[in-house]
Structure 1
Amino acid sequence: MGEKFSETPHKTRFWMFVVGWLGWLSSLARSWGLFEKALHHELWGLVLLALVGLDGVLGVIWALRFFLQKELPWKFEPKIGLFRWPLLVVLVVLFPYLVLYSAYVRQFDAVGIRYLLYANFSLAVAWLLAPVVRRDGKGGLSWTAFLAGALLTGSVFAFLSAYTHVSSFPFRLSWSEGNRLWDYSLMFARDRYIYPADQPLKAHIDPGRQFLWGLIYLIPGVNIFVVRLWSAFLFTVPYLVFAWVAFLKPKATRKLAFWAGLWGFLFLSQGPIYTPLLLSALAVSVAEMALPWWLGLPLMAGATYYAAITRYTWIFAPALWAIILVLGALHREDDWRVALKRKGWWLVGGGLLGAVLSGRLGRFWSVGVALVAKYLGWGSPVVADEQASAMIRTATHQSLVWQRLLPNPTFAPGILLGALLAVGPVFLLWWLWRRRGLWQMPKWAMVVIGAILVVLFGMGVVISLKIGGGSNLHNLDMFLIAVLFGTVVLWRRGGAHWLQARRWLFREQVVLGLLVFVPMYFVFLGAQPRNIPEARWWEPALRAVQHYVREAKAQGGEILFMDQRQLLTFGYVEDVPLVPEYEKKLMMDKAMAADAQYFAQYYHDLATHRFALIITEPLKTNYEAETQNDFALENNAWVKWVAAPTLCYYEPVATFKAVNLQILVPRETPQDCQDVLPVPPAP
Structure 2
Amino acid sequence: MKTIPSDSVRRLNVLRAIIAVVMLACLLGFQAQASQAGGLKLWRHTAPKIDTLPMFGLGVLGSLLLALSYTRLRSALLRISGTAFHFLTSLRKFNWLVFLGLGILFPCLYLTRTWETIWPFAPRIWTFGILVAIGSVALHAVWRGRAWTYSIAATVLIYAVIYRVALFVPQVSDYLFSMGWSEASRYYNASLFFANQIYGKAYPLPTLHPTRYLLQSIPFLIPSLPLWFHRLWQVLLWLGMNGLAAWLLARRFCPQDRVLRWLTAGWAFLFFFQGPVYYHLIVCILLVVWGFDARRFWRSLAVVAVASVWAGISRINWLPVPGLLATLLYLIEIPRQDKPLLRYLLPPAVWTLVGVAIAFATQQFYISISGNPADQFSSSLSSDLLWYRLWPNITYPPGILQAILYVSLPLLLLFSAFLIRNTRSVHPIRWLGIAAILGVFLAGGIVVSIKIGGGSNLHNLDAFLALMAVVGAAIGLGRFQTDRPENAKTLRIHPILIGLILLVPAWTAILEGSPADPLASHADQQRALAEISQYVETAREENRAVLFINQRQLETFGSVPRVELVPDYEKVFLMEMVMSNNRSYLDAFYTKLKNHEFGLIVTEPLYVNLQDRTHAFSEENNVWMERVVAPILENYQPAATIDGFGIQLLVPKN
TM-score, normalised by the number of residues in structure 2 = 0.83
> Partners of 2:539 and 2:8 in 1: how far apart?
72
The structural deviation recorded for 1:3 is 14
> Partners of 1:83 and 1:604 in 2: how far apart?
70
The structural deviation recorded for 1:390 is 4.7
Q: Structure 1 unaligned runs (5+)? A: 9-15, 34-44, 365-385, 497-501, 669-683
Deviates more, 1:438-447 or 1:569-578: 438-447
The structural deviation recorded for 1:338 is 6.8
Deviates more, 1:464-473 or 1:289-298: 289-298
Deviates more, 1:529-538 or 1:603-612: 529-538
Q: For residues 243-281 of structure 1, what are the alpha-carbon distances to aligned partners after superposition, in whole Å with 9 as ceiling and x for unaligned?
A: 122122343323211101101111111000112221111
SS at match of 2:100: helix
CA separation of 1:261 and 1:562: change in aligned 2, threshold 3 A: same
1:358 equivalent in structure 2: 359
1:133–1:148 contact (8 Å) kept in structure 2: no
2:410–2:497 contact (8 Å) kept in structure 1: yes
1:614–1:665 contact (8 Å) kept in structure 2: yes
Is 1:130 aligned to residue 116 of structure 2? no
Query: What does residue range 325-474 of structure 1 map to in structure 2 within 5 Å?
Result: 325-331=329-335, 334=337, 337=340, 340=343, 349-350=350-351, 352-360=353-361, 389-392=375-378, 394-434=379-419, 437=422, 440-474=425-459
2:99 equivalent in structure 1: 88
The structural deviation recorded for 1:425 is 1.2
Is 1:192 aligned to residue 198 of structure 2? yes
Query: Which residue, 189, 197, 203 being the options, matches 2:206?
Result: 203
1:164–1:528 contact (8 Å) kept in structure 2: no
Structure 1 residue identity aligned to 2:629:
A
> Partners of 2:631 and 2:421 in 1: how far apart?
64
Structure 2 residue identity aligned to 1:232:
V
CA separation of 1:539 and 1:123: change in aligned 2, threshold 3 A: farther
CA separation of 1:562 and 1:24: change in aligned 2, threshold 3 A: closer
CA separation of 1:292 and 1:661: change in aligned 2, threshold 3 A: same
Structure 2 residue identity aligned to 1:276:
H
1:18–1:60 contact (8 Å) kept in structure 2: no
Q: For residues 373-406 of structure 1, what are the alpha-carbon distances to aligned partners after superposition, in whole Å with 9 as ceiling and x for unaligned?
A: xxxxxxxxxxxxx9665555x3453110001101
SS at match of 1:95: helix
CA separation of 1:537 and 1:429: change in aligned 2, threshold 3 A: farther
> Partners of 1:523 and 1:652 in 2: how far apart?
42
CA separation of 1:295 and 1:101: change in aligned 2, threshold 3 A: farther
1:655 equivalent in structure 2: 641
Q: For residues 641-677 of structure 1, what are the alpha-carbon distances to aligned partners after superposition, in whole Å with 9 as ceiling and x for unaligned?
A: 0011111221222223532211112223xxxxxxxxx
Structure 2 residue identity aligned to 1:655:
T
Q: Matched residues, percent identical?
A: 29
Is 1:162 aligned to residue 168 of structure 2? yes
Query: Which residue, 462, 469, 472 being the options, matches 1:484?
Result: 469
Q: For residues 412-437 of structure 1, what are the alpha-carbon distances to aligned partners after superposition, in whole Å with 9 as ceiling and x for unaligned?
A: 11110010011111112333444565
Query: Which residue, 245, 250, 253 being the options, matches 1:247?
Result: 250
> Partners of 1:567 and 1:528 in 2: how far apart?
28
1:41 equivalent in structure 2: none
Query: What does residue range 594-633 of structure 1 map to in structure 2 within 5 Å?
Result: 594-626=581-613, 628-633=614-619
Is 1:213 aligned to residue 223 of structure 2? no
CA separation of 1:85 and 1:559: change in aligned 2, threshold 3 A: same
The structural deviation recorded for 1:460 is 0.4
1:613–1:666 contact (8 Å) kept in structure 2: yes
1:99 equivalent in structure 2: 110
Deviates more, 1:461-470 or 1:80-89: 80-89
CA separation of 1:401 and 1:31: change in aligned 2, threshold 3 A: closer
TM-score, normalised by the number of residues in structure 1 = 0.80
1:236 equivalent in structure 2: 239
SS at match of 1:654: strand
> Partners of 1:485 and 1:101 in 2: how far apart?
35
> Partners of 1:644 and 1:554 in 2: how far apart?
29
1:619–1:662 contact (8 Å) kept in structure 2: yes
Q: For residues 277-319 of structure 1, what are the alpha-carbon distances to aligned partners after superposition, in whole Å with 9 as ceiling and x for unaligned?
A: 2111111111135995554432221111101211121111111
> Partners of 2:540 and 2:425 in 1: how far apart?
72
Is 1:308 aligned to residue 312 of structure 2? yes
Is 1:667 aligned to residue 653 of structure 2? yes
The structural deviation recorded for 1:639 is 0.2
1:247–1:491 contact (8 Å) kept in structure 2: no
1:260 equivalent in structure 2: 264
2:520–2:644 contact (8 Å) kept in structure 1: no
CA separation of 1:81 and 1:278: change in aligned 2, threshold 3 A: same
Is 1:558 aligned to residue 556 of structure 2? no
The structural deviation recorded for 1:474 is 0.6
SS at match of 1:187: helix
The structural deviation recorded for 1:174 is 1.4
Structure 1 residue identity aligned to 2:151:
A
Structure 1 residue identity aligned to 2:191:
S
> Partners of 1:595 and 1:259 in 2: how far apart?
47
2:417–2:491 contact (8 Å) kept in structure 1: no
The structural deviation recorded for 1:116 is 2.2
CA separation of 1:350 and 1:23: change in aligned 2, threshold 3 A: closer
1:189–1:217 contact (8 Å) kept in structure 2: no
> Partners of 2:545 and 2:27 in 1: how far apart?
65
Structure 2 residue identity aligned to 1:282:
L
Query: Which residue, 271, 275, 278 being the options, matches 1:274?
Result: 278
Number of residue-to-residue matches in the alignment: 608
> Partners of 1:136 and 1:246 in 2: how far apart?
23
SS at match of 2:555: helix
1:93–1:156 contact (8 Å) kept in structure 2: yes
SS at match of 1:164: helix
2:23–2:63 contact (8 Å) kept in structure 1: no
CA root-mean-square deviation: 3.8
Is 1:635 aligned to residue 605 of structure 2? no
2:534 equivalent in structure 1: 547
